[in-house]
């Protein structure tokens, strides 16, 4: 006969069981397509609700772009400088202006919207394999995005800053 388990061990077992249940929920076939669809819908909605006014971004009649705290502290643009403006312009069909604001921002927006579309198709067809990309391709896209984001920032810090 096994020894009685202490209250702490029982609590720990319950915690493990709860985490295991949550993990299994995350593994359900519809979780990732739903997350992709929601992320894509959110990106598209946010970039359409906000609109460009000269070099700023407004929403519901208010200016969203206050002075950049990073720029005020260091006199340099931060890594995400121009990200919001690139989303707002690409959503309105102006890829060249959007690229000028932030190359990585445009790529992120395209990936999110494409992911949202794929997620929607998977949910509708109840098939998580619809338009599945090879793992190497997805990994390359993520790695490439991080590299692009950093390169663009270092270029800006070193003086190549098209927004000025």
Partner 1 sequence: MAKRTAGGPAIALIVSGVLGLLYALVYFVWTLMPVFWGVLAVVANISEKGFSSETIEAALLFLSMPLVQAVLFAITVVTALITLFAGVRFNQWRSKGLVWLGLLCSTLTPILGAVGNSASMLNCGTVGVGLFGCLLGNAGTIPVFVIGLVASVWGIVVLSGDAGAHFDEA
The site for partner 1 (CB under 8 A) is made up of: 16, 19-27, 69-70, 73-74, 76, 78-80, 135, 139
d(CA 148, CA 107): 9
For the bound state, the minimum distance from the C-beta of residue 116 to partner 1, rounded and expressed in Å, comes to 20
Q: Do residues 105 and 86 touch, judged by C-beta distance below 8 A?
A: yes
Question: How wide is the angle at C-alpha 148 spanned by C-alphas 33 and 121, nearest 5°?
Answer: 15
d(CA 112, CA 44): 9
For the bound state, the minimum distance from the C-beta of residue 160 to partner 1, rounded and expressed in Å, comes to 17
For the bound state, the minimum distance from the C-beta of residue 1 to partner 1, rounded and expressed in Å, comes to 19
d(CA 37, CA 32): 8
d(CA 21, CA 12): 14
Instruction: Compare residues 109 and 149 and give the one whose CB is closer to partner 1.
Output: 149
Question: How wide is the angle at C-alpha 109 spanned by C-alphas 106 and 114, nearest 5°?
Answer: 125
Strand partners, 63: 58
Instruction: Compare residues 54 and 75 and give the one whose CB is closer to partner 1.
Output: 75
Strand partners, 57: 52
Instruction: Compare residues 139 and 162 and give the one whose CB is closer to partner 1.
Output: 139
Instruction: Compare residues 125 and 132 and give the one whose CB is closer to partner 1.
Output: 132
For the bound state, the minimum distance from the C-beta of residue 72 to partner 1, rounded and expressed in Å, comes to 9
For the bound state, the minimum distance from the C-beta of residue 128 to partner 1, rounded and expressed in Å, comes to 12
Instruction: Compare residues 55 and 143 and give the one whose CB is closer to partner 1.
Output: 143
């Amino acid at each position: 006969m096994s020894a009685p388990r202490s209250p702490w061990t029982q609590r720990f077992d319950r915690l493990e069981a709860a985490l295991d249940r949550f993990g299994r929920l995350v593994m359900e076939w519809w979780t990732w397509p739903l997350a992709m669809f929601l992320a894509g819908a959110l990106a598209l909605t946010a970039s359409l609700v906000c609109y460009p006014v000269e070099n700023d971004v407004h929403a519901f009649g208010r200016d969203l772009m206050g002075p950049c705290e990073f720029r005020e502290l260091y006199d340099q643009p931060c890594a995400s400088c121009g990200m919001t403006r690139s989303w707002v312009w690409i959503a309105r069909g102006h890829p060249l202006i959007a690229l000028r604001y932030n190359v990585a921002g445009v790529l992120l927006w395209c990936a999110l919207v494409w992911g949202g579309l794929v997620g929607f198709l998977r949910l509708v067809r109840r098939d998580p394999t619809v338009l599945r990309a090879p793992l190497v391709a997805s990994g390359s896209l993520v790695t490439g995005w991080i590299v692009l984001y950093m390169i663009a920032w270092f270029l800006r810090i070193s003086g190549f800053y098209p927004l000025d």
